[in-house]
Chain A
Amino acid sequence: MTRRVLVAAAMLAVAAALTGQDFGKAYSFPERKPHSRVEAVIDKLLPSIVKVHGASGLRTIEAYGTGIIVSKQGHVLTLEQVMIQKDRTRVVLYDGSVHMAELLPEEPSLGVRLLKIDPKEVDGELQPLWPPTDAAPLYRTGQFVVSLGNCFRLAEFSEKVSATFGVVVGRANTALRYRMSDVKYDGDLILTDACNNPGQYGGGLFTLDGRWIGFNCRLLDAKETNTTISAAIPSRDLLPYLDEWVNGKVTAVQAVVKKPVYTGVHLFEQPGRSSPPAYVDQVTADSPAARLGLRPDDLILRLDEFSVRSCKEFRDVLARFAPGQTVKVLWKRGNEVLDGAMILAADRQ
């Protein structure tokens, strides 16, 4: 007890010694006031962006990232990454202070995770951001955006994270994703040409009004052309997760008990081998596939907008549909590409 009081007294003495030195002011170098819209919005948002440091591991895995403060109680949203590990995750606030973070459960379908720091250890108040909750559209193609995040770990302690500028290039459904392991998210992603680089993941994508529209996730990468594009999860899709863990408000999710569907297609697949392309081996007579006209040796390419590159993907994509739904099928027979619609049946087993 006495010891604690002593420590407190020592801290007060330190605080007194530092009076007049503006430790509250985060940035180290004198700056002018912002005068353009972009400067002003970045200036306003930066105190809500944090640097996240985690377990260092393999050379190919960055032990740093970015996060966004989402509550005054110390909740910080970041991208779920290998480096995020218990007792080894640190959050560096805008003022340069370092805080150990507690881990809250991740949201696997989004690939995000909340961290929590102790707000009592923070000088002053945290400045949280929250996704827009109004029904107005979040973004449109061509709109100007600013991306904030600590790319290449360029900023340390109270130094400002990087800001890049660009437009929304479009939206992409991740079913068409290139690098499947990196993006776990299933919905539409916001694509932007505002640069995203290692370390920037977990940062935010903002409109010039300061609205938080996107949450930076990994790059989409085209190996063939050696090009990449930055992608962000629409911030509104994070709301159920944030509401649950920050506000304790569980959104009633309509539990859709999906019945398995039946097509009558048997693919050519051998156990113990990596999933081969979706070649048809047999078609059951009087099945949806038979009615569509599929034959053995046809190669299935696509179901609706989902590309099918393997037998596994065929099953994964089919799991999205319910019996009675109509699905467009694209397949290859010899040198021809054919298409047609198939009405899915319920699995009789």
Chain B
Amino acid sequence: MLGAVVVFLLGCQDPDLQAVLRDQAARTATVARVSPAVCSVMDMESPGGGSGVIIDPAGFVLTNFHVVGEPDDVRKPGPRPMPTPEKSPVETKPHESVLPEVPEPPAAELERWNREHQDASDEARKQFVDAWQAAWREEHLPKGKHHYKNKKVGLPDGQLYEAVVLGVDPGSDLAMLRLLPERPGQTWPWCRLGDSDHLLVGETVFAMGNPFLLATDFTPTVTFGIVSGTHRYQEGQGQRILVYPDCIQVDAPVNPGNSGGPLFNEAGEVVGINGRISIGDRGRVNVGVGFAIASNQIKNFLADLFAGRHAEHGTLDMSAWYMRAPREETSRRGVFVQQTFKDSVVAAAGVALGDELLHFNGELVRSANQLATMVGIMPTGAWVSLGFRAAQAEGGYGSEQTVFVRLTALDTGSSADAKADTERLASRENRRIATQSLLRDLGHGETVADGAVMTLTGPAQQTVRILRLHDLLRLELDGVVLVRTGNGEGFRLEGGVARDLSPEQLARLDREFVANPFLWRGADRALRLQGALLAGGVYVHAGPAFRFAIVGDGDPEQWYFADGRPAGYSFRDPLRKARVELHVCPAGVQPVGDALRVIADGKLEHGWTVTGPEFEAPPAELFRRPR
């Protein structure tokens, strides 16, 4: 019936009407497609609630940090009702852990153990139970100081699920939840994250969520509008938390309860998470100015959110103003350093008070706001380039120079819930599921020659050549040749004579073999990641990457970008007695500083370059022990 009406109307001659109807038909189809993934997030103890969106079939839900609430040890009851004479004020609950209690081993398992250890002592039995419980704890409990109570998440199918809080990003108001399946292997409808840098002012977008918790059956409310502004900077609330550093301004109505819900573009991709509104003088009502956290910023913190970490934002530890050049007799304006600390990263790199800032990561610095926007979306530990001109004592500014600095963590203030919990990490179980989700698309691609060669050249012309053939590995470290022949064996060559490896040398070979993702392609690479667990995020050159902790000694990690390209790796090097990291800039991306960054114990070594990897099998005799 409705279809007939649409067809009839489309038949009309008015081209404007036809365009409107065509847009509308496309829009309703998109809304129908994405709405099953939009959910309501609730805390059973308080009357309020927010929204969220499922971004992965395994049930990972993105929402606002302020929807998740406060961790257990600072937990207060939600919005407090006004005390009335009849009712005493709500009491603040004492500290209580929200983690589940560790269970006893299942009876069947205990019985089996008893059968196998007929004459074991009580002591041994207790040891078994302790070991079992330790393993359970390791598998099912998250690490860290603060924990959040499980949430209830309502989906448009009318079902209410329990969800566990994984990573949080209080700095810019994000949190990740995982729906707990009610049957094994359960999957959920989900939406893809889009490219928010592609948004243009005037582009149509729609916000979805459950404002005022209107829908008791959890069918989402859809509101429609245009992008009113992009790259807006919205200051934080209180202690530098809930900053919206690079957000999207929309005129689609966003109201209390929409928090955490998705902002979709016309294609139905999530381009933002709606989190706050500007208000007039009439209280917390929508005035057509809403803000969404841009999806591209979210992507910078996604790995930490999946891994259950407390994401931290980076800072340059300085403030800069847009002003008239103080050391010039011109009306020229620019951005000048106004405040910095003597021990800050920029000061260490040679940037001083009064210097003019010209570039940030190759982007022209045009205003203080824009600089804050560009820095605010970066995670801590990211390396950035800073182009500046030093203020001269005799007036004027020197010539442009570029320095590379590593952002330090932004102190998010003193409130307990905002204080960075660096040990925070999801349970192994949750990280395993996250790893499977992230690696779902990684296993594809061709496998060609089962071998590879890459060469690293250092600042003092030292070279490191890494050759792989099947499971064999040869490392040429400045004249020393180490070869791994498998099964924990290998040899080294000195002056053409083969000798046995020292334990450190063998460990070095093993760690390189396990961690280096550049020596493998396609399906083989996925094979190398077996047993790996997502450990968090790292920012490599111009993009965020996922860190996967590999099973093995020396804490090896392989790093991948979201599109599956390797980003780098790290392990504890027993020869250098340092933790080494290699950040490799992918092809086609403008590197920040050297395309290959070699970092030992956090210290950058300048001047390294990389050639390869070339996927050609090296000759087999290189891996054979000479007689």
Residue numbers of A with Cβ under 8 A of B are 7, 10-11, 14, 17, 21-23, 28-32, 34, 36, 38-43, 46, 96-98, 121, 146, 151-152, 154-166, 194-195, 197-198, 226, 228
Contact = CB atoms under 8 A, between A and B. Distances in A.
Contact of A39 (B202, B232, B363): B202
Contacts of A157: 322, 366-367, 369
B607 interface: no
B96 interface: no
B288 A195 contact: yes
Q: Which of B202, B287, B328 has the most CB of A within 10 A?
A: B202
Contacts of A194: 251, 288
Contacts of A36: 202-204
B249 A28 contact: no
Interface string B417-444: 0000000000000000000000000000
Interface stretch (B107-115, B193-201, B527-535, B576-584): B193-201
A34 B251 CA distance: 19
Contacts of B232: 154-155, 159
Interface string B525-560: 000000000000000000000000000000000000
Contacts of B202: 34, 36, 38-43, 146, 163, 165
A343 to B, nearest CB: 45
A154 B227 CA distance: 14
B289 A195 contact: yes
B330 interface: yes
Give chain B's interface residue range (CB within 8 Å of chain A): 35 or more
A154 B251 contact: no
Contacts of B278: 151-152, 154, 197
B197 A155 contact: no
A50 to B, nearest CB: 16
Contacts of A163: 201-202, 226-229, 251
Nearest to B203: A39
B228 A198 contact: no
Contacts of A23: 364
B288 A164 contact: yes
7 contacts: A11-B330, A28-B366, A29-B363, A36-B204, A42-B201, A159-B369, A163-B226
Contacts of A158: 366-367, 370
Interface string B204-236: 100000000000000000000111111110000
A38 B251 contact: no
Nearest to A162: B228
A29 B231 contact: yes
A39 B228 contact: no
A38 B226 contact: yes
A290 to B, nearest CB: 47
Contacts of B201: 39, 42-43, 46, 160, 163
A30 B361 CA distance: 13
A24 to B, nearest CB: 12
Contacts of A152: 278, 289
B149 interface: no
Contacts of A159: 229, 231-232, 367, 369-370
Contacts of B226: 38, 163-165
B499 to A, nearest CB: 56
Nearest to B23: A36
